[in-house]
Amino acid sequence: MEKSFPLHECHVNKVTIIINRTHAILHSIAILFLIHYRLSFFFQHPQNITIPTLPWLLIFVSELILSFAWFLQQACRWRPVYRNVFPERLPVDDKLPAIDVFICTADPKKEPSVEVMNTMISAMALDYPPEKLHVYISDDAGSDATLRCTKEAWNFAKYWVPFRRKYGLLTACPDVYFSSSEDDNGDYKGSEFKAERKKMEEKYEVLKQGLRKIVEGHFTTNVAINNTRDHPTIIEVINKEEDKVKMPQLIYVSREKRPSHNHNFKAGALNVLLRVSAMISNSSYILILDCDMYCNDPTSARKAMCFYCDSQTPSSLAFVQFPQTFRNISQDDIYDNQIRFVFKVHWYGFDGVGGPIISGSNFYIKREALLGSFNKQQDYMALKRLFGPSNDFIKTLVEDYKPRFIKDGESSRMSLENANILASCSYENQTVWGSKVGFLYFSVAEDYFTGLNLHRKGWKSVYLNPERQQFLGTSTTNLNDSLIQWTRWTSGPVTVALSRFCPLTYGSLKMSLVQVLCYSELAFMPLLNCLSLWGFAIIPQLCLFNGIPLYPKVSDPNFNIFSVILVSSILKSLYEVVTTGEQLKVWRNEWRIWMMRSVTCYTYGCFDVILNKLGMKEATFLPTNKVTDDEQVKLYEMGVFDFRTATVFLAPLVTVILINIAAFVGAVVKALVVDDDGDQYWEKMFGQMFLSFFILISNFAVIEGMIIRRDKAKIPLSSTLWSVVFSMFILLIGSVILC
């Protein structure tokens, strides 16, 4: 009887839906009044127009852009749902489907091997039948050090995995287990456990030292530098038949790379893993992990299977997405590394209208969703034109292919030979890999574009966020790495937005209108934010500097329109911060970093896409630096900005602040000293003065970095001087053009 019980359930929070929709209606009414107020300006008699038309038009356009961005955001708040799972109701282990785990690493300099190996070991320690678990580590750098580190980590995993199983440890990652102050002694606390734990900790210390020595020795040779884009295929099964401990299969894969071939970044590496794994394990489900995103809870696989094994789940379910969470988030998360608005707000709303997008990591996906479903009557030649010339790979698509890799030595040798061919850089030539099957290549954000195409074809997804964090990674701890990361994240969706695959026109085949708007919000968000924020940060300030009012007087009833919109936005964001369990300082940090990103990485990411569209620049992919710096970490934990970043990021940020300082101080001086009718000036210019003051007080950390701080992480004098020149130029030229 127990098997008839559901393995998962879905809850709709009706109170949240009512609040979200009521706010959307009321806020929309206020925006309509604003549009009416702005438009009425253009229908006045010319003799009554005392304000220049151009700045009025520009600020109106900025308001329309920001309003459109707000409208798209409401789609993610239309129908949030919350899910629970019951892994204890799963069938016995023999009936569970097999899982392949893909772990991608690309740069051993920026991605420390200790972290990468901990991710690999934690995946092998998942609470899942070991004979049905296969772990693949993709080394896109072709680094001999990574292969050697993988072998060393395997030797340790042979002890760690049985140890975790025996004592039922809740933590799958050895580094976290041995460094955590929390009590995770599993089911035992006796002397036997303590003795084994001590031995295991000693083995882990030996492993860490060994990994560091391997990496340090590797980078003393030129081969390590020149090998990343020019190396042959290397595929090696780490655990052999003679291994007596029952362990998951571990396979090292380094695809062939040549300078003359386009390697398509992470999507290309994942597609190689799709083909290679088909020859070795061919599991029906795949877990995708970033190299620094270890399995914190060993039960995530069983939780995901609660959807796939439930008879009530539709066959169209493509993937189960877990949130990205991080182990090194400080109490005052000044860089908003937890990305609260995505994983605690947006993805719940996405789930209620068809499912969230693929989020780069931490998702279990059905192989069939990526490759398609075919029967034995399928034309082999037609499939070869789609998937490439390998007969053995085609067999994995049309037959119930069960690899005999470990049991049959001759089959093992042949499978490896075929896998090497499948991982060659020329195999995808004249095929549809990356365009119609597998992870798609059109954008560097392969997760966004692949998810869009899956949902467009009718596939669904679900979002699961259990109370215990399933996966934990390492976030950036300085402004430079954070802005570089967000610049990369910006360029991917914007590339899709400014193409024939724009979700507003392309994504409607089998998607609901609300889901199309959700995808559109993610695609257009950086572009809309940077355009509108530059308008709000420059236009009212230039007019304030020259005494031109752009907002109604305080005594004018129309002033209430802008007050209502501002208060409505602030209260709604405060409500979401509080209801997601965060403190008020999170609201402040999010507003500040949103403004910073809008004028820096959102702007550069969009500019990068435009140059690429014009053929003036190739798409680039810079891996996020995972190497931690103790000084930077200390500043981050103290809640102090580290401004040691490129001038190209600091200059626009500081320029905006200087323009707002000049406009606000100039207005105050004019009201108090110069203007004979100060009260009327305050009333007329209050809206613009408040806007400048709000920008300055929200970004006081930038002012502090320019003027007050004297430490190494302050804003360099050179960046400030360049920004002074830019701000003076904008004030001069802007005043001439607008006024």
Separation of CA 371 from chain center: 24
CA–CA distance, 729 with 737 (Å, rounded to integer):
12
CA–CA distance, 463 with 466 (Å, rounded to integer):
10
Choosing from 144, 336, 447, 642, the catalytic residue is 447
Amino acid type, 555:
S
CA–CA distance, 317 with 308 (Å, rounded to integer):
8
Query: Is 392 considered catalytic here?
Result: no
Q: Tell which residue, 293, 298, 325, 301, has the closest CA to residue 170.
A: 298
Q: Tell which residue, 276, 241, 239, has the closest CA to residue 161.
A: 239
**CA 163-164-167 angle, 5° bins:** 85
Query: Is 630 considered catalytic here?
Result: no
Q: Tell which residue, 412, 410, 411, 376, has the closest CA to residue 395.
A: 376
704 marked as binding residue: no
CA–CA distance, 168 with 354 (Å, rounded to integer):
36
187 marked as binding residue: no
Helix H segments across 333-427? 340-341, 347-351, 367-371, 380-387, 391-398, 409-422
290 marked as binding residue: yes
Q: Which residues contact 302 (CB under 8 A, 6 or more apart)?
A: 87, 90, 127, 128
CB-hemisphere CA count at 13 Å for 309? 24
110 marked as binding residue: yes
Task: Output phi, psi for 230, to 5 deg.
Answer: -150, 90
**Residue 120, both tokens:** 């690999």
CB of 5 closer than 8 Å to CB of 89: yes
Q: Tell which residue, 320, 733, 292, has the closest CA to residue 485.
A: 292
Separation of CA 418 from chain center: 34
Choosing from 100, 139, 140, 481, the catalytic residue is 140
Distances (CA, A) of 718 to 483, 487, 643, 654, 715: 20, 23, 13, 11, 8
**CA 218-223-229 angle, 5° bins:** 115
Q: Tell which residue, 143, 154, 150, 136, has the closest CA to residue 108.
A: 143
CA–CA distance, 556 with 553 (Å, rounded to integer):
5
CA–CA distance, 663 with 544 (Å, rounded to integer):
6
* b/e per residue 572-592 (b: at least 16 CB within 10 A): bbeebbeeeebeeebbebbbb
How would you write 463-474 as a 3-class SS string? Answer: ECCCCCCCEEEC
629 marked as binding residue: no
Burial of 226 (0-12, 13-18, 19+ CB in 10 A): exposed
Q: Tell which residue, 632, 274, 317, 245, has the closest CA to residue 431.
A: 274
Tell me 309's DSSP state: T
Amino acid type, 738:
L
Sequence ranges of the binding site for Mn(2+): 266, 290
Q: Just list the catalytic residues.
A: 140, 447
Sequence ranges of the binding site: 110-111, 140, 266, 290
Sequence ranges of the binding site for UDP-alpha-D-glucose: 110-111, 140
